[in-house]
Structure 1
C-alpha cells in the first residue's frame, strides 16, 4: 500500500537557501546584462508607414481573391532545456512530462514546433502542427474549423486537437510559466489532445476580452470557446479507440472584467466515458477488473473514466493567481492485488505570479504547488501515483522572440506498477529553458 507524506516536498533550510541564492543570482544577472538586451525591447511598429509607397494596403477584394495557399502562415517555436543542475537525487523522473529529467544532466529539445494555419475561405480555418523535437516527427494537431455564422461566434472543429478540459491544458507551452503542466489535470488526456468533433461558442464580448488578454501578454490559454462540447475517442491522442464508447467532454468559462480593469476567468469542466488500457501497457500477470474479475464491454476491458473540475485565473495585472482542482474515477493499479481497478482520483494545483514590465523586458516570477492522488491510465499498468511537488522560478521575456526561464523544482513522488513495483523518490533540481519564437 502506498503511504503518502508531504514532508519531503517542502524545501529544507539548505534547499531553500540554495534556491533563494540562485533566484537572487538570476535577478542580479538580469540587471547586469540589461545593457546587452536594452536595444532588443523596442516595440515593433504594428501600423504601416503611410509615407512609403511599398506600404500601400491592398484592396480587400484583392486579398479575398488570393489563392488559398497564399492565405496560410507559417510560425512556431522551439525550446532548448537544461535539466539536472544541483540535482539532489538520481532517481528523479516525470514520465508524463519531460522524460529528459531522468538520467544525467544535459541539454535537450523539449519542443520544436512548426505550425501552418489560416483561413482558406471566409468560414473555413485550417491548422496543422508537428513537433520535431524527438527522434520521430509527431503530428500534434490537424483540424479544420467550420464557422457557422458571419460573426464567427459559433464553430465546429473536426480532427485532432486539444480536448476542452481545464485552463492549463488549453494553454500553449509557449505561454505557460512553469516548465511542465500539473499532473492532476494533465493526467486526464495524454498530450492534451484527441480525435473527434468539438462545438465552440464564443460570444462577441468574450472574444473581445480573450483578444485583450492575449494582446496584453497576460498568459491566456487561447480561444477555446466560452462554451465547448466535444465528442472524442478518449483513448490516446491520435490512436484509434479501443472500445465503442466515446468520451463526452464539456467546458464552460467566462472572463469577468471589473471596474478597475482587472480580468478574472472562472471555469468548470467535466468528462465522461470508458477507457480501455492498451494491451502493450499491461503486464501479462496483471489482472484487470474489480477483485481480479475481468470486466468486459464489447469484448474489451473498459473502465469508467470520468472527472469534474474547476478553474480560477486572476490574470497578472500585475499580481496573478491560477488554480485548478478536479475529482473523478478511472483505472489505477493496485499493488496489493496486482490488479488494475476502478479507483477514485483527486488533485489540483495553485500558482502565484507577478508581471513586471520594464525597459529591459517583461519578468514573471512565480511559485507553483501541486498534489495528485490517482492513476495515470495511459502509463504502464495504469500506474498509481501520489504527487506533491513545489516549483519556484522566473520567466524573462527578453523580447517578442526570446524567453528565458529558470525554475527550481522540489519533487516528492510515489508510484506503483507491476514492472518497477512500488517506488518513491524525493529531491530537487534546477532547470533552465531558452525559447525562440518565429
Structure 2
C-alpha cells in the first residue's frame, strides 16, 4: 500500500505542479488535492478487497505459464485436459482513472508455477503419469541324462525357446525387461518395453525392442480401443500371457510357432464387455495368472514377418481371436466362484522364410501360412486345467526335395495345476504339462521341422511378492531346429528360474 501511495504521490506531483505555477495555487490547495487523491486510492483498495481485481493475481493451474515453456524441464503442453495458458493482457492507463495507474507503472509480482513443488492443487504433467516397472529372470539348466552333444548331422537336445539348453551353459539371463507405461491423455495409453538379455550368435545381452504401442480408447469406459505399433498378435491364449505371469518356464512349441516372439507391427481392435472385465478383475484380485486384458474380441492386421523383421512382401497378416469366461456359480455350491474360459483364434498370412542359397542367406519365396486354434481353461481355485490345440499349414523344409514347401502342421498342450495360497513357504503352485508339435519353425533358416514331445513337472514358489522361484524337471524328445541335422534327441533336464519383480 505504501508503494501505491508513493507512486500516486509522484505522479500527481508531476501533473499538478505545472498547473500550480500557471494558476498561482496556494500550498493549501495543493495539500487538498493530495488528500483527495489519497482518499480516492483508499476507496479503490477497499472496493478491490470486497471482490474487485486485487493487486496481486493468485496463481492457479489456469492462469500461470506452467506447461507452456520448454525451459526448466517443463513440457511444451500442459497437463492432461488443461487448456493453454492465455497470453498477457496489455494494461490500460488513463489519467482520469487512478485504478489503472499501478498495474501500468509497476511490474506484476512473480507467480507460483502450477507445476511447482509448493503448489498443492497442481494437475499431473504427462511425465508424472508414466510409471516404470520390470522383471529379471535368471535361469539355470542342468542335463541329468541325454543327448547334450551329437555328431555332425544328428540332432542335439536343444530348444527354440531357451538358448541356455546346451552342453556348455550353466546360468543365463532369460529376460531383463523394463516397462514404461501410463496414460498420456484420458484416452491414450502408452506402453514401451525393451529387453536387455537378447543373444546374437555367441554374444549375449543385447537390447531389443519388444513392445512400442499406444492404445486409443474409443469410449469413456475404455471397453473399446485401437492399438497401434509393435505389439502382441492375438493368436493363442498362452502367447498373449506375459512371461512374468506364466506358470511354465517356456511357451509350447505348437502355439508359439504360429507367431514366434509373439509380436509384430500393426493395428488391433479390442473390445471387452463390462461383465467380462468384472470377472477378470475378480480373478486377478484372487491371484490368478491371467493372459492380460487383450479383449474378449480382438481383430488385427500386421506385417506378418514377426518381431523386429523387415517386411518381406506386400501382403498383410490378418488375425482374429475371441475368448469368453463363464462363472459356474449356478451349478451348485461346489462350483461357487469357479470360472471356465473358452475361445478360439485364427490367422491368415503369407510368409517369406530365410533360405540358404549356396553360402549366403536371404529371404526366399513366399508361402501360405494359415492356422486355427482353440483354447480352454478352468482357473485353479484351487485345482485348474488349461489346454490349447491348433491346426494349419505353413513353410517347412523337406529333406527329400531339399527345399522349403508348404506343409500341414498340428499340435498343442494340456496342463494341470493346483494353487496353494497359504503355507510355511508362502504361496506355491505345482503343475504338470504335456506338449506335442509336428510342423515347421518358420523363423529359422530354411524353416526346419520341429518334432516335439515333452513332459514337464514343476512348482512355482513365491516366498515374497518380489521373488518367484520355479523348479522343474523335463523329459524331452525334440528335433533340433536345423535343416542340416536330422532325427530326434532325447534327454532329462533339471531346470530352475529365479524371477525378480520390480
TM-score, length-normalised on structure 2?
0.70
Q: Indicate if the aligned counterparts of 1:78 and 1:109 stay in contact, CA closer than 8 A.
A: yes
Q: Which runs of 5+ in 1 are unaligned?
A: 1-60, 289-298
What are the equivalent positions in structure 2 for 1:366-385 lying under 5 Å apart? 366-385=431-450
**Superposed CA RMSD:** 2.0
Q: Partner of 2:148 in structure 1? A: 90
Query: Aligned with 1:176: secondary structure?
Result: coil
Larger RCO, structures 1/2 (Cα 8 Å, 6+ apart)? 1
Q: Pick one of 374, 377, 389 that aligns with 1:310.
A: 374
- The answer (yes or no) to whether the contact 2:187–2:216 under 8 Å persists in 1 is yes
TM-score by length of 1: 0.80
Q: 1:71 to 1:118 in 2, by over 3 A?
A: same
The 8 Å contact of residues 93 and 99 in structure 1, kept in 2 or not, is answered as: no
Q: Is the 8 A contact 2:441 2:481 kept in 1?
A: no
**Higher strand proportion (structure 1 or 2):** 1
Match of residue 284 from structure 1: 358
Residue equivalent to 2:134: 76
Task: Please state how far the C-alpha of 1:184 moved relative to its aligned partner.
Answer: 0.3
Compared CA separation, residues 150 and 143, structure 1 to 2 (3 A): same
- Per the alignment, residue 100 of structure 1 pairs with 164
Task: Count residues with an aligned counterpart.
Answer: 364
Residue 419 of structure 2 corresponds to residue 349 of structure 1: no
Question: How far does the alpha carbon of each residue in 1:41-99 deviate from its partner, in whole angstroms, 9 at most, with x for none?
Answer: xxxxxxxxxxxxxxxxxxxx957x21101000100100111111524331454442011
Matches within 5 A, 1:29-428: 65-91=123-149, 93-134=157-198, 135-259=205-329, 260-278=336-354, 281-284=355-358, 301-360=365-424, 361-415=426-480, 417-418=482-483, 420-428=484-492
Give yes or no for contact 1:76–1:115 (8 Å, CA) kept in 2: yes
- 1:280-303 C-alpha deviation (Å, 9 max, x unpaired): x43439999xxxxxxxxxx97211
Cα contact 1:242–1:300 (8 A) shared by 2: no
How far does residue 345 in structure 1 lie from its aligned partner after superposition?
0.3
Alpha-carbon distance, 1:240 to partner: 2.2
Task: Assess, with a 3 A threshold, how the Cα gap between structure 1 residues 262 and 301 changes in structure 2: closer, same or farther.
Answer: same
CA shift, 1:181, in A, is 0.3
Instruction: Give the structure with higher Rg (CA).
Output: 2
1:417 positional shift: 4.5
2:136–2:499 Cα contact (<8 Å) kept: yes
Structure 2 unpaired stretches of 5+: 1-119, 150-155, 199-204, 330-335
